[in-house]
Chain A
Amino acid sequence: MSDEMHLTAHHDLAPGEEEQHSVGERILGYVVGLALALLLTATSFFIAGTDLVWQPSIPVALIVLAIAQMGVHLVFFLHITTGPDNTNNVLALAFGLLIVFLVVGGTVWIMAHLNANMPPMDQIMRMQ
């Protein structure tokens, strides 16, 4: 089977077969990733509980830190790069993000309209 994998395109390899770096280099990558992930996690916990910053900025800061966390995971643990061997993975990620955006965004939008148009009975009574 393995010969087929190499047939379509030489640079398009299955995950796990891709990098031929030395072990030390790979361990270094994972350690850096772990350190960054821990740093971001610690910062999130710190920000959530602190009163050193302007309070309304905390949710925004948490969102930014969460997105950064996802980025760290994608780059260091899932090995998403911009290289030509990663086109499929990047496209899959983009497709996934699009679907999540459509489903979650659409759901929020639909449910908000539903709630506005069909509030519970006591609220309707109050409006009349």
Chain B
Amino acid sequence: MLGKLDWSAIPFDQPIPLVAGAVVLVAILAVLIWVVVKGHLPYLWREWITSVDHKRIGVMYILLASVMLLRGGSDAIMMRIQQAVAYQSQGYLPPEHYNQIFSAHGTIMIFFVAMPFVIGLMNLIVPLQLGVRDVAFPTLNSVGFWLTATGALLVNISLVVGEFARTGWLAFPPLSELSYSPGVGVDYYAWSLQISGVGTLLAGINLVTTVLKLRTKGMNYLRMPMFCWTTLASNLLIVAAFPILTATLAMLLLDRYLGFHFFTNEAGGNVMMFMNLIWAWGHPEVYILVLPAFGIFSEVVSTFSGKALFGYRSMVLATMAICVISFMVWLHHFFTMGAGPDVNAIFGIASMIIAVPTGVKIYNWLFTMYGGRIRFATPMLWAVGFMVTFIIGGLTGVLVAVPPADFMLHNSMFLVAHFHNVIIGGVLFGAFAGFEYWFPKAFGFRLDERWGKAAFWFTFLGFYVTFMPLYIVGMLGMTRRMQHYDVAAWRPWMIVAAVGMAVLTIGVICQIMQLVVSIRNREALRDRTGDPWDGRSLEWATSSPPPVFNFAFHPDVRGEDAYWAMKAHARQQSFEHEVPEYQDIEMPRNSPTGFVCAFFATIMGFALIWHIWWMVILGGIGAFATFVVFAWRDHDEYVIPAEEVARIDRVNLEERRSLVSMAGAV
């Protein structure tokens, strides 16, 4: 009846996951009860859960990423403490639990923190920057988000029901095959990634189409803000690379469920093929994450230097070059697998070549700052912190791209330090910069600068104290994923790294405090102009938060930095006081399709993991029925009457006029 599921799935003998799970469960129940008792449920359902508004979906993506960042961060804290204490002892985490923690940490941080964070920011901002009213496929967008949430939910269920994979974040066979991992851990891993992978693919298709097909009047490709370009490149990579991940995991699942032999040791399976395929996805994936971050830094550096981006066209070229070359370097993740000098040399050289466009970008940001009037607001601090940190990470990356050096450093703590250096220093700093920069746009009030700066400095210093020692222990020969060790020389560095982790934790607490303090003081921090940073691109041309239709009129773009040009024009001529003629606007109706679809996908995923076949069929039929109902609906749009548009827009126009006249007076 319930497949492999019975009471032994709950780890009653392991207090840590059980207590953690209980605390989370109580917290979720408390929030749910509070929501229901206070009567917020209809509002949440109407305005958020069923919303197809790209801004709302973007915010929900970022919320999901933030919650999962806390989960992945707790895993990191546990690992750092374990390695600090497990010198000539077993530490406090038994091996099977420690292995689950490092696997969950990697999986969560990449798939459920970094990915939703950058996709959320792209969703929130790209349509605004393009000057349009929504993304190309609004309901698909909602489906994509909720499927990602399903994946995250399944990973977290594994904390208390069953176990998670003990195989590392990429589940290499033969360890991940049934003979070595008979439990449900790898199944949790694979099914949650399959389901959220569909969501990511939908988001990718949606954003590519949005950038290619929906641009306002005069917004040529070479007038798009840099963030739109990096969004295009990153989502092209999603569309090209994620099917590889899906196919690879599907083959692994066939091995596990139906006795196939794609990646087994025996019967003609080829383990190396898994490494090859998973990294053919895995390397583009790191550029999927970091390209949007590059876009965010371009926007932030240019805004806070008060200058147009230096070398815009070279930046576009560098972005698209990275987009293609990122598909030519994947072997550098397995130089040591034995492909020989010819293959290793070619991929080593390709890996060094891809550092060139990245270097071009760094110089462009530096030259943008050069001679600018720089304001060191919190987003700019993250951007400068990124440049310093990312150069170190990039250089150690070029070092491990040299095959002979890689034979020494492969799977060492040096590698761990390197990829944390580029992912934290690149993607996470970028996500935080974007969060600080665009928060006023999304919610209509600024974030508290004091707590923001404190969060930056603690995170920045904490990062160095945590990860620089890992480079050193890597040089001293420490391999990654060690549950305990007996080498005295490593010990002091592991303790330093644990101290660094504490500093990083203070940074995270500052970030939470910033949010709490800012929400409390939101009236004082209110942004009425819609343009709190003196921005350059079109998202600042509408109010904060933007109305549901984003723009009452499609902005007419006449060059790069569209909004900057409009402001300059308005200052010279003052605003012409003609009354524009408002028109009715059609917007897509909200739809529960995404949420219902994800509900059934969750049931199906859970049932597949535990081999509950009748439930699999139930979930599958439910998801398909949802699709059919959606496909046959009649009314998919509603009309906002012209008077309503006029009423909303006039308020914004008044604020903006007074701002310009004030600036004119100065």
Contact = CB atoms under 8 A, between A and B. Distances in A.
A binds B: yes
Interface of A: 1-2, 4-5, 7-8, 12, 14, 88, 95-96, 98-99, 102-103, 106-107, 109-111, 113-114, 116-118
Interface of A is mostly: helix
B207 to A, nearest CB: 14
A109 B346 CA distance: 12
A113 B343 contact: yes
Given A4-B554, A5-B214, 20 more contacts: A1-B133, A1-B637, A4-B132, A7-B217, A7-B554, A12-B213, A14-B213, A99-B327, A103-B244, A103-B327, A106-B331, A107-B276, A107-B277, A109-B343, A111-B270, A111-B273, A111-B276, A113-B339, A114-B339, A118-B338
A88 B338 contact: no
9 contacts: A1-B587, A1-B588, A2-B586, A4-B133, A98-B327, A99-B240, A102-B328, A103-B327, A107-B280
B280 A114 contact: no
A113 B340 contact: yes
Contact of A102 (B217, B327, B586): B327
Interface of B: 132-134, 212-217, 219, 236, 240, 244, 270, 272-273, 276-277, 280, 324, 327-328, 330-331, 337-340, 342-343, 554, 586-588, 637
A88 B637 CA distance: 27
A95 B280 contact: no
Given A95-B240, A103-B280, A1 B134 contact: yes
A96 B240 contact: yes
Contacts, number: 69
Contacts of A110: 276, 331, 339, 343
B333 to A, nearest CB: 12
B522 to A, nearest CB: 32
A101 to B, nearest CB: 10
Of listed A98, A99, A110, residue having the most chain B CB within 10 A: A110
Contacts of B215: 7-8
B342 A113 contact: yes
A116 B217 CA distance: 57
B216 A7 contact: yes
Contacts of A4: 132-133, 214, 216, 554
Among all A-B residue pairs, the 4 with the closest Cβ atoms: A113-B339, A99-B240, A8-B215, A118-B338
B637 A114 contact: no
A48 B552 CA distance: 63
Contacts of A116: 340
A114 B347 CA distance: 14
